[in-house]
Chains A and B, each alone.
Chain A
Amino acid sequence: MEILIYGIINSVTLALISLGFTLVYSISRLPNFAHGALYITTGYITWLFLNKFEGFPYPFAIFIGIAITCIIGALIYRFILIRIRGMEISEIIATYAIGLAILEGLRWGGLRGMTFTLPVFYPGTIEIFGVSVDYQRIIIVIVGICTFILLYLFTHFNKIGLALRGIAQDERAAMMLGIDSDTTAIISLAIGSGLAGFAAILLLPLGNIIVEAGYNVLIFAIAVCVIGGLGSWGGTVLASFIIGFAQILTEAFLSTHYQMVVALLAIIITLLVKPSGIFGKQKELEERV
């Protein structure tokens, strides 16, 4: 039962971490390597508002943290990525450099040490079938599932969401129908960054806000997206569950210190067997040829 419960928690955590990265890539074909930096930025901004302004309400601090991250994401596209759109290597280098600048800038600006933390939404633990689970992790699972449902509804029943899907499916056809590619890219970067921030708000109360976590988040987001298939939402969810359960099973039956090996091994196997990932479409034709 422990494996099942903590497997689900771990999987939803990975899915939340990867969601923003997948969304941006699926819509704009932009690999946002600043994803991890935006994750930490949200946590730090929220922490700043909570700790520097006494009595500042936690929900408002969260809202401001996510809103600022959304704006940063939009600005990254509007002022930097727009100039190199389509040049894949340049996009990777530029987003990675931005991420590096943000993370190291935060470190330089004072985000050092282990005392930067956010409070949990609801303290305490509960026993589920004899397994002790803290409320924050239960909240993560529930909110994570709700986020997936809301995103599905947004991209299927909302005008902006439909435009985003239109661009993702066929950019030229969508442009012919009057959907502006750059505007949707700005929106996708803003939402993707916001999702990174949202994941941070849910997950960071379990630990500390540290610069190194930004790099770890990026590694896991890439691992999940490569295995699931870059840009595939279904693939992201499935890959999260594969890695999530594989890690828990490794911890239970092998040794905890092989957890990272399992994730990296899964990437290598996927790349060997199906380079486009489980649900990836990008290289499917090349693979068939």
Chain B
Amino acid sequence: MKKLIYFFLCMGVAIGFLLTPTGVSYSAEEPIIIGAPLATAFLYGWDAERGIKLAVEEINAQGGVKVGAKKRPFKVEVIDTRDLEPGVPVSEALLAVEKLILEKKADFIVGGPVRSEAALAAMDLLSKHKKVSIVTTGTLTPLYNKRVADNYDKYKYCFRNSNSSLNMMNEFITLLEDMKKSFGFNKAFIMVQDVEHARRGGEFMKKGLSDKGWQVIDMKIYPTGNTDYSLGLTEAKNKGAEILFIWMDMPESAVLLKQWSDMKIRAIPLGFVCAAEQPGFWKATGGKGEYLIVNVCNGGNAPAKITPWTMKFVEAYKKRWGLEPEGYGTSSSYMAVYQLKDAIERAGSIDPEKVIKALETQDLMGVYGRMRFDKSHQIIPSFDPKEGAVTCIFQWQAGKRVQIFPPKVAEGKIMLPPWMK
């Protein structure tokens, strides 16, 4: 009888031990919630969502984030800000951010809002609720980090690990100067979309190139949704343009590339062309986008060997989502989660003040180079991945996106279309 009682006692203790949470590692710990306000119906929204989710899955699979003595998992809450949809007011995006903070109890905000106007407006909200945020996609305005620099105490919660338009202009002008040396080009024709960031980009390029001795033939501004560029292209052709500088985020810019190819314009297209970022662009244009040079803001948004982590990220993304990283916002969104993990672990807490200090002193070798924030909380850019975050400017060559700039991480040389040789 004693043996039987002893047996049941042992069984009870064993079952009790198995059922108590002590045997479970992170899963019983309260998750750290990452709120991701993104325009999910658009490339810059869904690729960021995929990047964030991939990083969270990888981190959770390794046990989560070490916060003091505990390991806590990340949990992602995505909300559609709709801020890239035409006619949707900024207030919609702000409501989405507020919902993430108040209803979903987000501890950190990563991703958007995607449109600059919405991201700028959300800065006050983040400050009010003391939520640390890393903007990773869409927002290119230099005003974002200028605000942090001008009013640090209020906006110290806001970080950006992707590119700013000022830096992109510097990259473009450096690339064009290289092309001037290599091919003797000095005539540019600018074609931009009638939206604020594109108009400003066009004007900046016009001035920047003129200062460098380029002849800027004309700058055409096209309304959103325009589907015919024949007259502009004919003018560029007749006036001997050698570079077509394009800044457009509308899908119809694919029409421009098709017409450029059909009309065999003796000028190489180059710029910020949202429609040409995705791997599917080649098939969508029937290969007519070949030779187009595109800036996708951060390395790793197209395959390249920038750091040891870049191709590991590309392969992991392909395995998880079935295609290569799609464009602007993918690698930066992925990295933001790792930056947050690193900062939380070094801070030993999710307290915003401590995490801010940890992010400010962060020095991490990431997917697109060395990741450090400057005093305005902007990621420090560089043409060398050992010094800072590098961009990805690629050219479509035989169906592939081949990184051609900056030279230190280039995987191929610029090719000219046969009708330009």
Write the residues of chain A forming the contact surface with B, with a CB cutoff of 8 angstroms.
2-3, 6, 9-10, 107, 112-117, 119, 123-125, 131-134, 203, 206-208, 210, 212-213, 215-216, 248, 251-252, 255-257, 259-260
A-B contact pairs, 13 of them (CB 8 A): A107-B41, A112-B42, A114-B274, A114-B278, A115-B283, A125-B264, A132-B237, A206-B228, A208-B251, A208-B275, A251-B231, A256-B223, A257-B222
Given contacts A115-B284, A207-B254, A215-B86, contact A133 B225 (CB under 8 A): no
Query: In the assembled complex, which residues on chain B have CB atoms less than 8 Å from the CB atom of A2?
Result: 230-231, 234
Is B263 on the interface with A (CB-CB < 8 A)?
yes
Interface residues as binary, B229-258 with A (CB distance below 8 Å gives 1, 0 otherwise)? 011101001000000000000011011001
Determine the distance from Cα of A6 to Cα of B232 in the docked complex, in whole angstroms.
Answer: 12
Nearest residue (CB) in A for B221 is A257
Total inter-chain residue pairs, C-beta < 8 Å = 95
In the complex, what's the smallest C-beta–C-beta distance from B88 to chain A, in angstroms? 12
Determine the distance from Cα of A116 to Cα of B285 in the docked complex, in whole angstroms.
Answer: 10
Nearest residue (CB) in B for A124 is B262
B275, A114: Cβ atoms closer than 8 Å: yes
Determine the distance from Cα of A133 to Cα of B225 in the docked complex, in whole angstroms.
Answer: 20
Query: In the assembled complex, which residues on chain A have CB atoms less than 8 Å from the CB atom of B237?
Result: 132
Interface size on B, residues (CB 8 A): 37
Is B281 on the interface with A (CB-CB < 8 A)?
yes
Determine the distance from Cα of A255 to Cα of B220 in the docked complex, in whole angstroms.
Answer: 7
Mostly, the B contact residues are mixed
Q: Which of A116, A117, A132, A203 is in CB contact (< 8 Å) with B234?
A: A132
In the complex, what's the smallest C-beta–C-beta distance from B222 to chain A, in angstroms? 5
Is B227 on the interface with A (CB-CB < 8 A)?
yes
Nearest residue (CB) in B for A51 is B283
Determine the distance from Cα of A52 to Cα of B38 in the docked complex, in whole angstroms.
Answer: 29
Write the residues of chain B forming the contact surface with A, with a CB cutoff of 8 angstroms.
41-43, 46, 86, 194, 220-223, 225-228, 230-232, 234, 237, 251-252, 254-255, 258-259, 262-264, 274-275, 278, 280-281, 283-286
Given contacts A207-B254, A256-B220, contact A216 B225 (CB under 8 A): yes
B281, A114: Cβ atoms closer than 8 Å: yes
Query: In the assembled complex, which residues on chain A have CB atoms less than 8 Å from the CB atom of B231?
Result: 2-3, 6, 248, 251-252
Nearest residue (CB) in A for B194 is A257
Determine the distance from Cα of A3 to Cα of B252 in the docked complex, in whole angstroms.
Answer: 21
Determine the distance from Cα of A212 to Cα of B86 in the docked complex, in whole angstroms.
Answer: 8
Determine the distance from Cα of A216 to Cα of B357 in the docked complex, in whole angstroms.
Answer: 48
A117, B254: Cβ atoms closer than 8 Å: yes
